[in-house]
Amino acid sequence: MLGIIDAGGWQNVVELSSGRQVEAGEKEYSKVRKLLKDFPYPGDGNDNSIEWVTNAAQRIVDFHQPHWMLLSYTQPLYTEIYLPENLTDSQNRQKRILDNILNFSNKNGYEPIIVMTGGYMPLLDEITQPSIKGLLESWIWGASVAGVSGATLEDKDVLMAHPHIAQVIDKNDVIAAHPNLHPHFIEYFPSYIVIAKEGYAFRGINSHEGKTAMADVYSKSLPVYSSLDTPQHTKDIRSIMEKALDKGKKVVLVVIEGYRFGNIPNGFTLCDNVDDWYAYRGMDLYLALHTGKPFYETEFPPVYDRSKPKSSKAKYPMSGFFNDLPEDSIGAKEGIKSGAVSSRSMITHMIANADITLECYSRERSHMGLLAAFKPNKL
């Protein structure tokens, strides 16, 4: 898979599996270069990024006509998490996204399946470092889930007695319940995973940002809209899409990140989103939607023990924890054309494994550029 990186108009073609530059003339991959040039990312906190997703997806439809697409909108998450916003503004943004999707689907003949993640509710309080020997780590914003690494047995009692912690998941129990876990999953699973009560968020020593206005809720069910069959579980979505594609239908999977908890739009129903103790979120949710696999069959633990040395990766150095493209992703299905656009950074091109993916390249809301990942033989 090749990638064209665009940093403020400067473009570089790289082989994504090695991270190294590939010699390519200015005229090569002109459609992809133009896509990057014509769609500069407005920014994580900018609502125009909603249309950025939709309009860039339309461009991909125009030049590639994919049978399957992923559109992922992250503006609600980035905007709401820090700013205590009134419900009307939040609902207006949600409506703006849904209108975008509806128009896009109608215009291009896609069957939409829409999954809303989150949800978010006003933060009641933060859970920082309880009096334990282990280190509480949470890296994401307003997190209802955190890891505790280097913990002792006594720490478990302290964590369980904490008034704002709902659940403590012991690594040993997870290993015992799933004998076939991937070695990487076991290696990087922290001593404990802790889950906050509704309205509380962890902020550990390595949280990158300040206090948030909202807390994410540990959502055991998520609002889903489907113009195809109704999924019972978020993992079912993969097979529903596959069936529709096999019947010659075109499908667009949409992920809207960060809905206001309890604010379920018309036509959406709540869909199960939990296996064992784990409510799918972030990368695991994207993986479950694309592969239909439960979290314990992947290499990736829900929270990473970051005190463990991360082996320097031989492959896909730009692609987070991934060492390979997931060949079982719906985006790589035989006999179809696929495309993806996402304002979520980095993981989309790997998980979607589509013919072409456009994603913004942001870290901690710092916008660094764009990446278009593509398979030259498919375009």
Partner 1 sequence: MNCNYCEWRCDLTKGKGVCGMYELRGGDIVEKHPNKWSRCHGVYIERIPIFHAWPNKRFLQLGCFSCNAACAYCINASIAIGPQEPITFTMTPEEIVDLALKSNYKGIHFGINEVTVNLPSALAVSKAAKKQGLIVGCSTNAFFTQEVAKLFSDIFDFFNISLKSISDEFYKINLGLPSAVPVMRNIKYISSHAHVEITTPVVLHGNESELPQIADLLHSINPEMAWHIFRILPKHLMANDSPPDVEYLSAMVEKVKEKMPYTYFGNFIGSNWVDTICPNCGEIAIERMCDCACGAKFLKNNTLNGNCSNCGNKLPIIDDWGNDLC
Residues engaged in binding partner 1 (CB under 8 A): 5, 7-10, 12, 14, 18-21, 126, 128-129, 135, 137, 150, 203, 205-207, 209-211, 306-310, 312, 317-318, 361, 363, 366-369, 371
Residue 192: CB minimum distance to partner 1, A: 17
Asked if 90 and 43 count as a contact pair (C-beta separation under 8 A), the reply is no
d(CA 266, CA 17): 43
Residue 211: CB minimum distance to partner 1, A: 6
Residue 307: CB minimum distance to partner 1, A: 5
Residue 306: CB minimum distance to partner 1, A: 6
Residue 45: CB minimum distance to partner 1, A: 10
C-alpha pair distances (Å), 47 with each of 74, 94, 97: 10, 11, 10
DSSP secondary structure string for all residues of 46-77: -THHHHHHHHHHHHHHHHH--SEEEEEE-HHH
Minimum CB distance to partner 1 smaller for 49 or for 94: 49
Minimum CB distance to partner 1 smaller for 202 or for 268: 202
The secondary structure element, H or E, covering residue 174 is helix 171-177
Residue 56: CB minimum distance to partner 1, A: 18
Q: 356 φ, ψ to 5°? A: -145, 135
Alpha-carbon 232 to chain mean position: 20
Query: Terminus-to-terminus CA distance in the chain, angstroms?
Result: 12
Minimum CB distance to partner 1 smaller for 18 or for 230: 18
Of the candidates 103, 94, 99, 56, which has an alpha carbon nearest to the alpha carbon of residue 75?
94
Minimum CB distance to partner 1 smaller for 8 or for 84: 8
Minimum CB distance to partner 1 smaller for 14 or for 181: 14
Minimum CB distance to partner 1 smaller for 32 or for 115: 32
Minimum CB distance to partner 1 smaller for 16 or for 245: 16
Asked if 285 and 117 count as a contact pair (C-beta separation under 8 A), the reply is yes
C-alpha pair distances (Å), 181 with each of 34, 147, 174, 280, 293: 43, 18, 9, 17, 13
DSSP secondary structure string for all residues of 317-365: TTSTT-SS--TTSGGG-TT--EEEEESS-SHHHHHH--SEEEEEEEETT
d(CA 274, CA 195): 13
Residue 296: CB minimum distance to partner 1, A: 26
Minimum CB distance to partner 1 smaller for 159 or for 289: 159
Minimum CB distance to partner 1 smaller for 37 or for 243: 37
> What length does the chain have?
379
Residue 119: CB minimum distance to partner 1, A: 25
Q: How is residue 229 written in tokens? A: 């069959």
DSSP secondary structure string for all residues of 113-138: EEEEEEEEEE--EEE---S-SSEEE-
Residue 363: CB minimum distance to partner 1, A: 5
